Structure 1
């Protein structure tokens, strides 16, 4: 999929082109009217046509006022910034929103996997799990991290249960299957699925 139409975009990233609309209609379940509505809201909040890390974090803080959004947002931002330019444009934004809200459970868990795969090697190791579990706790304001809620304990337990092939790393398939079979862990790792 990628951001193919981004290559064809003119220098003015604030205008929605017919090519972008067609691309977004093809790659989301939104109608042209809905795409235009999303675009108006995006431009109201991001007049430059780009969402930077600072603004992205501010938005998350509104949804999680009792938590610390910085660590989580670093991982989420890098997942949504598909072309790696340090900002999220409207296409990247709408593709992420669509996948997170309209996608199947497998697609939504796939997004969570991509966020956890910090190294980008297609696998999640214990260190990556610990970092993301801690970031999820920070985001939601969770302070009880003792016993079975300790990120290291939880990561080790997840690896023990879900690492089917015994390589001490989770593939996307192992992660998705594990989340689908363990609703308690899924609520921690991928709360919106």
Structure 2
């Protein structure tokens, strides 16, 4: 939204007020924002990055893996307005958090990936779905016994669900990952 036409339309130019807003909310200069925008339009000439395109990008990074499930969860998180595609503003905000965000910013983004229904809590079913998708992405073949997604989720829930309400809140997730490096590497490996 706010580019040369509404979000539903084709976008080719970035309005100055959008550049100013992005510069204020990211660590990028107006020149860098214009450069990112040009690159984005090269790959997405209509200004829309679809779920299918996003999955294809993940497949390039993980050619031997099943990238669809996990990349869909990431796509859903980046598509902040739930329009079914990522526009340039959503794209740059996500890139900024990944490249320039502090540990808390990145853990909050990771929380959003796990919080599939966006209700502010992660339940066992959501956690299992994402852990299974991560196993698929990484090509994890040993999924029995201790290493099963269900067992991993049980251990994670025991560690993070401090108030024992069968849900992990954003605070429980972030604070728990900050205190436990092993858990952080499992749940948010790039943080």
Common fold: TM-score over 0.5 = yes
Uncovered stretches (5+) of structure 2, i.e. residues with no partner:
none
CA distance in 2, matches of 1:9, 1:47: 13
2-side partners of 1:15 and 1:161: how far apart?
Answer: 48
CA contact (8 A) 2:3 2:13 kept: no
How high is the TM-score relative to the length of structure 1? 0.92
| 1:181-192 pair list within 5 angstroms | 181-192=179-190
Instruction: Give the Å deviation of 1:32.
Output: 1.1
Question: Residue 176 of structure 1: which of 147, 153, 174 is its match?
Answer: 174
Residues 149-189 of structure 1: CA deviation (Å, up to 9, x unaligned) = 21100110011111111101100011111212222222222
Give the structure-2-normalised TM-score: 0.93
Offset, 1:146? 2.5
The answer to whether residue 33 in structure 2 is matched with residue 62 in structure 1 is no
Contact 1:75 / 1:115 at 8 angstroms: preserved in 2? yes
Select which of 130, 133, 139 maps to 1:132.
Answer: 130
Give the structure 2 partner of residue 3 of structure 1.
Answer: none
Structure 2 residue 96 is the aligned partner of structure 1 residue 81 = no
**Matches of 2:62 and 2:176 in 1, distance apart?**
26
Residue 95 in structure 1 maps to residue 64 in structure 2: no
Q: Gaps spanning 5+ residues in structure 1: where?
A: 1-5
Checking the alignment, whether the CA contact within 8 Å between 2:79 and 2:86 is kept in structure 1 is yes
1:115 aligns with 2:113: yes
Structure of higher RCO (CA pairs closer than 8 Å, 6+ residues apart): 1
